[in-house]
């Protein structure tokens, strides 16, 4: 076998080492799945084998789950529903054979086990995990529009009960080793390097070769659907899933169906039920869009798919950050976590020290959770130099400018920093709206000037938007991408434009909420509709989050830059009055569209004076129409960015939209949303909105041309065609 190595010791215990060749992490590929039945047959029929211990040969982890590009592709591409079911059953059938092989099998978990990786261990009779807080155990499939399809819905539920299992699976929750033991997912936690020996000891001490659910006396923890207490899990769970998903995610509903039906029958029938619902979910447009964008495309981008060919790889060892506010300090934190020497500069030593203190605070959280040793904590913090002295920039490979959104200030720090930089070092501006080409006018070497746009909070937001100015060179782009990949963020590359890609498109969501407010929609209705689209927050509360005064500042800067060509957004006067006359800046000062001095926050009572409510009541038809209004407005702006050349890769457009501003993940992203709607239908609906609400819903000519030809973005602009 290619993926498993078997060594039988003097006690007759087979040590099975899982080690997929040519990969840094084990995944369940079609090749692995083909070998598991061979593995089971060896354990079952070899008289010399008394039991088996399954562990990983990788230093990076036990198993990261199924290779969706390989496994799911085969299921989706089946010639019939039966073919898809048969492909889906392979894993369930193989793991069921493992747990019924008649000999004790233990899992020695020496690294992370996620998705199918955890499901593989759940099919073992005993689970030992090493005491390392870097190890995660969980079933995160819901995050890509699926649910566990390798027995996870049935085994986890039978181990820990319906309520705990459903919460873990619908949230995609990961457990640290001791938490997993406390939850009942693993049997034993041992020190590093001791998992194999502990697993062998269990076998030698008479480990039982029968799963709990295969015992005649087994009872489901907490009770099933017909148990007085158990029924409550399904009644309440059904309501909670609806509250969390608004019906946008078939995976969550099908997950509950699989659990509800599965716990009422023996395991063999339960696994067949799970497989049917898994295949049904896999074939939904939501799952296929999410798998492509959040797994396959994101994986491509994380591996540098858009990096210029022929440019030697770089390794940023020292990076200076200008501006030690929350953004700059956040950048400093992710840098030191990647082992990068960091110079944190601000106007005063007090401000610089405050930035370093924020880095220290984030590091302390990791230390307290056992995710970092004291030695590594001390080494990471020592990488940060907080200063006001620009001389410290000397020797930097890259500068990240994260100062206030003001052209004059940015121009000043650009000149001061560049005076210290060696030839070939890159200057990156972390601006969210100001065009890079204009900012680069302050640079003496615009070919090395680039936009590197982080999102707040930097330690949690995974996307970085890289912006090419008119004179930015390919070497600077390659170095910026190498840096972003080193700090373990997902990069997208866009061309220069006001607001670039993410800020420009996100602004349409907030602006459309303001337009609805101006039209007389009740504020609560606006935000509820926004949440129902699948966006993380409603447009008004999201506006509060990003700061109302920032919107006013950006609007004034845009007006100054565009002059007579400037067109105020609907409802902009409402925000301006809130900021300039009433001092309501949003969440940051506790006063915006909402008041934040109570928990939970409440809508500001005075808002009705600025925007009288005439539309209070809703119907299902109105809600559905306005949900699409909010999604279409964003998608149309994405299409305009495409026609203008701001972005030209469907992967970057979709992944960037979901990771940057939370564009409804169930859609797979705005480009997938347009493609799956169908260009002809999308244009017709957009024209209807344009007739009702104005020219901001007018689609670019590109969409009309594509609709006439029956094209799709992923067909016409496939990444492989771009590469060719």
Report yes or no: 410 and 401 within 8 Å, Cβ to Cβ: yes
What lies within 8 Å, CB to CB, of 141 at 6+ separation is 65, 115, 147, 148, 149, 152, 169, 172, 251
User: N- to C-terminal Cα distance for the chain?
Assistant: 37
d(CA 263, CA 268): 11
Angle at 601 between CA 597 and CA 606, to 5 degrees: 80
CA 63 to chain centre: 19
Torsion of CA 296, 299, 301, 305, to 10 degrees: -80
Q: If residue 690 lies in a helix (H) or strand (E), which one and from where to where?
A: helix 679-693
Active site residue 624: no
d(CA 95, CA 101): 10
d(CA 677, CA 655): 18
Torsion of CA 228, 233, 238, 244, to 10 degrees: 160
DSSP code at position 724: -
- Beta-strand relationship, 126-130 and 188-190: parallel
Q: How far is CA 656 from CA 508, 510, 638, in A?
A: 15, 17, 11
Collapse the DSSP code of 646 into the 3-class scheme (helix H, G, I; strand E, B; otherwise coil) and give the result.
coil
Q: How far is CA 449 from CA 444, 446, 503, 656, 713, in A?
A: 9, 5, 20, 22, 31
- Beta-strand relationship, 4-8 and 341-345: unpaired
Phi-psi label, residue 349: left if phi above 0, alpha if psi -120 to 50, beta otherwise: alpha
Give the number of other CB atoms < 10 A from CB of residue 305: 16
d(CA 224, CA 233): 8
d(CA 287, CA 552): 39
**E strand intervals along 590-673:** 594-595, 602-603
Report yes or no: 166 and 223 within 8 Å, Cβ to Cβ: no
- Identify which of 666, 356, 441 has the alpha carbon closest to the alpha carbon of residue 531: 666
Q: How far is CA 203 from CA 11, 12, 196, in A?
A: 10, 10, 11
User: Where are the alpha helices (H) located in 263-348, listed in sequence order?
Assistant: 267-282, 285-290, 298-302, 326-337
Q: If residue 374 lies in a helix (H) or strand (E), which one and from where to where?
A: helix 374-382
Kindly name the residue from 341, 465, 512, 652 that is annotated as catalytic: 465
Give the number of other CB atoms < 10 A from CB of residue 266: 11
Phi-psi label, residue 629: left if phi above 0, alpha if psi -120 to 50, beta otherwise: alpha
Show which residues are catalytic. Answer: 465
């Amino acid at each position: 076998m290619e993926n498993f190595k078997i060594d039988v010791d003097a006690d007759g215990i087979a040590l099975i080492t899982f080690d997929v060749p040519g990969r840094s992490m084990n995944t369940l590929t079609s090749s692995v799945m083909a070998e598991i039945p061979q593995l089971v047959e060896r354990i079952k029929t070899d008289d010399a084998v008394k039991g088996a211990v399954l562990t990983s040969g990788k230093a990076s982890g036990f198993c990261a789950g199924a290779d969706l590009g390989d496994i799911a592709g085969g299921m989706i591409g089946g010639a019939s529903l039966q073919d898809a079911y048969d492909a889906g059953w392979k894993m369930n059938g193989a793991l069921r054979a493992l747990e019924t092989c008649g000999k004790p099998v233990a899992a020695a978990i020496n690294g992370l086990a996620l998705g199918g990786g955890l499901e593989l261990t759940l099919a073992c009779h005993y689970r030992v995990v090493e005491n390392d807080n870097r190890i995660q155990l969980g079933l995160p499939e819901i995050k890509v529009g699926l649910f566990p399809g390798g027995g996870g819905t049935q085994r986890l539920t039978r181990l820990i009960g319906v309520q705990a299992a459903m919460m873990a699976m619908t949230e995609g929750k990961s457990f640290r080793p001791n938490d997993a033991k406390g939850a009942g997912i693993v049997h034993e936690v041992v020190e590093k390097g001791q998992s194999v020996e502990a697993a062998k000891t269990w076998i030698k001490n008479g480990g039982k070769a029968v799963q709990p659910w295969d015992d005649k006396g087994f009872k489901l923890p907490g009770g099933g659907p017909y148990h007085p207490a158990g029924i409550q899990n399904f009644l309440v769970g059904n309501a909670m899933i609806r509250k969390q998903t608004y019906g946008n995610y078939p995976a969550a509903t099908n997950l509950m169906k699989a659990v509800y039906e599965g716990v009422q029958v023996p395991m063999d029938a339960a696994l067949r039920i799970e497989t049917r619902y898994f295949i049904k979910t896999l074939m939904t447009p939501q799952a296929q869009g999410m798998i492509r964008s959040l797994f396959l495309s994101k994986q491509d981008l994380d591996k540098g798919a858009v990096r210029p060919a022929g440019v030697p790889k770089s390794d940023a060892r020292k990076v200076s950050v200008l501006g030690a506010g929350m953004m700059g300090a956040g950048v400093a934190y992710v840098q030191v976590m990647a082992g990068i020497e960091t110079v944190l500069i601000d106007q005063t030593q007090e401000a610089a020290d405050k930035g370093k203190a924020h880095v220290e605070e984030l590091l302390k959280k990791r230390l307290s959770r056992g995710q970092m040793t004291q030695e590594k904590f001390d080494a990471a913090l020592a990488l940060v130099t907080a200063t006001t002295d620009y001389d410290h920039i000397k020797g930097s490979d890259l500068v990240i400018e994260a100062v206030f959104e003001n052209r004059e200030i940015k121009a000043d720090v650009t000149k001061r920093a560049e005076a210290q930089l060696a030839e070939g070092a890159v200057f990156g501006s972390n601006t969210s709206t100001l065009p890079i080409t204009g900012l680069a006018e302050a640079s003496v070497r615009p070919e090395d000037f680039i936009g590197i746009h982080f999102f707040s909070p930097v330690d949690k937001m995974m996307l970085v938007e890289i912006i090419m100015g008119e004179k930015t060179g390919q070497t600077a782009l390659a170095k910026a991408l190498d840096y972003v990949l080193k700090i373990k963020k997902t990069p997208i590359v866009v061309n220069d434009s006001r607001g670039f890609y993410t800020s420009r498109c996100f602004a349409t969501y907030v602006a459309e909420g303001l337009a609805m407010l101006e039209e007389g929609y009740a504020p609560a209705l606006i935000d509820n509709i926004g949440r129902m689209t699948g966006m993380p927050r409603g447009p008004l509360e999201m506006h509060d989050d990003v700061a109302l005064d920032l919107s006013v500042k950006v609007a004034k800067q845009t007006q100054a830059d565009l002059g007579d060509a400037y067109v105020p957004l609907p409802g902009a006067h409402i925000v301006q009055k809130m900021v300039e006359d009433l001092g309501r800046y949003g969440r940051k000062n506790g006063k915006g569209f909402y008041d934040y001095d109570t928990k939970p926050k409440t809508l500001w009572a005075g808002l009705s004076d600025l925007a009288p409510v005439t539309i209070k009541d809703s119907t299902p038809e109105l809600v559905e129409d306005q949900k699409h209004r909010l999604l279409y407005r964003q998608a149309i702006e994405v299409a305009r960015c495409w026609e203008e050349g701001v972005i030209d890769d469907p992967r970057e457009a979709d992944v960037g939209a979901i990771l940057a501003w939370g564009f409804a993940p169930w859609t797979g992203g705005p480009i997938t949303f347009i493609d799956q709607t169908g260009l002809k239908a999308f244009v017709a609906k957009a024209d209807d909105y344009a007739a009702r609400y104005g020219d901001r819903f007018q689609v670019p000519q590109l969409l009309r041309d594509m609709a006439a030809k029956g094209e799709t973005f992923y067909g016409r602009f496939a990444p492989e065609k771009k590469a060719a």
